[in-house]
């Protein structure tokens, strides 16, 4: 089974080329090298983009032998197979089909958690097509087996099939039913029930603090979660300053991926877009699985909101959160929230 948010359920690649010109390294798995090289010789890499290198693949200098090759890029950072002058921009896709693409290309912009319940998908809004889907006022719900994401599709991401459920707080696990209830209730609160984004964080802060105090023997965790979301309590803000949240994100970007960007200056998105962006980070959340409890998860939402507040826009925020920052490093930083009083 697959699960996604309703506003993502109609996603379809529109060949924007954003992922092909982003400039980040794209590894090529060993089982794709042959097909990709065949595609390269069939189309003639030199014909793709001005400034294209003759080679289709590069191996980082001095890298260990098992290091995967990377797609070669032009001087502007575009993949050498990218050709903006044709209707179908990807030369590999044109010459050899979807299956010949490296995994990163086949998955973009999907962000996936696979666990015993199935594959939960959210999208990276660095993709302009995915970003446009945020601009909807339709009610938001979690959709099973959306036609865009059939259950027999390829979903690769955080593999939690053999893992224990996420932590409620350090040293105490949730159960999978509780995770499903948590996702459903938090998406409803963020997109509909809270009066504003500020109200979302005040209410989520109170709910997280309540639920993480649950003890085994006090009844089902799902019941405690339902009850916490039914209350109207708010917590005074414990959110760190935006500069601190953003520093955590920037510090989690490996040094070889740090790019000299222009100062962010996007206006904060409209409220309905912000709410859907935050829901897309609340659902299928890697920090929930990789962190140390619900406060780690909440801190990931606070960081996403801080990036929007600071002018990154949804594309710039997800470029950092979904593609450049190391997820494990982010989870470690955000997990500091678990020790706060
Ligand atoms: S191989 Fe195709 S899809 Fe992948 S980055 Fe290059 S042009 Fe884009």
Say if residue 92 is in the same domain as residue 39.
Answer: yes
Select the more confidently predicted residue: 87 or 27: 27
Mean pLDDT within 267-286? 98
Minimum mean pLDDT range among 10-19, 35-44, 212-221 = 35-44
Q: What is the mean pLDDT of residues 307-336?
A: 98
Answer with the residue of higher pLDDT: 268 or 43. 268
Q: Is residue 299 part of a domain?
A: yes
The finding on whether 26 has its CB within 6 A of some atom of ligand 1 is yes
43 lines ligand 1 (CB under 6 A): no
Work out which ligand 1 atom sits closest to the CA atom of 36: 1
* 44 pLDDT higher than 90: no
d(CA 2, CA 23): 30
Alpha-helical (H) ranges within 195-270 are: 197-211, 221-230, 242-251
168-187 residue pLDDT tens: 999 999 999 999 999 999 99
Q: 145 and 224 share a domain?
A: no
Q: Which residue has the higher pLDDT, 102 or 40?
A: 102
Residue 238 lies in a domain: yes
Nearest CA to ligand 1 atom 2: 90
How many domains does the chain divide into?
3
Question: Considering the domain boundaries, does residue 22 fall inside one?
Answer: no
- pLDDT above 50 (res 47): no
pLDDT in tens, 2-25: 999 999 999 999 999 999 999 999
Ligand 1 atom at shortest distance from the alpha carbon of 104: 4
**Whether residue 253 is found in the same domain as residue 293:** yes
**Three-class SS state of 321:** helix
Give which of 216, 316, 222 is closest to 262, Cα–Cα: 316
What was the pLDDT predicted at 12? 96
Based on the domain organization, do 194 and 297 belong to the same domain? yes
Mean per-residue pLDDT, 244-258: 95
pLDDT computed for residue 45 by the predictor: 66
Residue-level pLDDT at 57: 84
Same structural domain, 171 and 276: yes
- In the chain, % of residues over pLDDT 90: 80
- The reply to whether 20 falls in a domain is no
Same domain, 283 and 322: yes
Say yes or no: 194 and 328 in one domain: yes
Query: If we measure between CA atoms, which residue out of 225, 242, 312, 245 comes closest to residue 277?
Result: 312
Neighbours of 191 (CB within 10 A): 23
pLDDT (mean) for 290-305 = 98
Query: Same domain, yes or no, for 55 and 115?
Result: no
Pocket test for ligand 1, best of 18, 48, 79 (most atoms within 8 A of CB): 79
CA of 79 to the centre of ligand 1 (A): 6
Our answer on whether the CB atom of 70 is closer than 6 Å to any ligand 1 atom is no
- The answer as to whether 190 is a domain residue is yes
Specify whether the CB–CB gap between 280 and 6 falls below 8 A.
no
9 with 34, same domain: the answer is: no
What is the pLDDT, as a whole number, of residue 15?
A: 93
Given this model, what pLDDT does residue 49 score? 46
Q: Measured between alpha carbons, how far apart are the two ends of the chain, in Å?
A: 39
Determine, yes or no, domain membership for 19. Answer: no
In a domain, 18, yes or no: no
pLDDT for residue 51:
43
Return all residues near 298 (Cβ < 8 A) that are at least 6 apart.
Answer: 201, 204, 205, 208, 337
Domain match, 279 and 174 both: yes
Q: Is the CB of 324 under 6 A from ligand 1?
A: no
Q: Are residues 85 and 180 in the same domain?
A: no
Label residue 54 exposed, middle or buried (CB < 10 Å: 0-12, 13-18, 19+). Answer: exposed
pTM, entire model: 0.95
Q: Is the pLDDT of residue 255 over 90?
A: yes
257 in the same domain as 216: yes
Q: Give the domain range for residue 234.
A: 167-339
Indicate if the pLDDT at residue 50 is higher than 50. no
263 within some domain = yes
Distance CA 123, CA 137 (A): 18
The count of other CB atoms within 10 Å of the CB of residue 185 is: 19
């Amino acid at each position: 089974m697959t699960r996604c948010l309703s506003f993502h359920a109609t996603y379809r690649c529109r060949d924007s080329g954003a992922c092909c010109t982003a400039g980040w390294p794209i590894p090529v798995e060993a089982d794709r090298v042959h097909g990709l090289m065949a595609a390269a010789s069939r189309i003639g890499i030199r014909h793709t983009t001005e400034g294209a290198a003759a080679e289709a693949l590069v191996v980082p200098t001095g890298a260990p032998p098992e290091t995967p090759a990377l797609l070669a890029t032009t001087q502007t950072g575009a993949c050498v197979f990218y050709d903006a002058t044709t209707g179908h921009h990807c030369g590999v896709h044109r010459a050899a089909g979807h299956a010949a693409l490296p995994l990163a290309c086949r998955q973009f912009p999907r962000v996936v958690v696979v666990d015993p319940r199935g594959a939960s998908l959210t999208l990276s809004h660095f993709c302009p097509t995915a970003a446009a889907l945020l601009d909807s006022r339709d009610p938001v719900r979690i959709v099973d087996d959306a036609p865009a994401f059939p259950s027999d599709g390829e979903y690769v991401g955080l593999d939690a099939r053999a893992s224990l459920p996420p932590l409620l707080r350090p040293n105490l696990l949730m159960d999978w039913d509780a995770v499903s209830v948590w996702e459903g209730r938090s998406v409803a609160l963020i997109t509909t029930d809270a009066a504003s984004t500020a109200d979302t964080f005040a209410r989520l802060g109170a709910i997280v603090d309540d639920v993480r105090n649950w003890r085994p023997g006090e009844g089902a965790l799902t019941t405690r979660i339902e009850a916490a979301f039914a209350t109207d309590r708010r917590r005074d803000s414990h959110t760190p300053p935006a500069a601190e949240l953003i520093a955590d994100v920037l510090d989690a970007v490996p040094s070889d991926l740090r790019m000299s960007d222009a100062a962010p200056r996007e206006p904060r998105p409209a409220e309905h877009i912000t709410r859907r962006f935050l829901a897309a980070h609340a659902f299928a959340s890697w920090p929930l699985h990789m962190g140390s409890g619900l406060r780690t998860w909440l801190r990931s939402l606070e960081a996403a909101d801080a990036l929007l507040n600071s002018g990154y826009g949804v594309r710039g925020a997800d470029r950092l959160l979904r593609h450049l920052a190391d997820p494990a490093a982010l989870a470690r930083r955000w997990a500091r929230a678990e020790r706060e009083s």
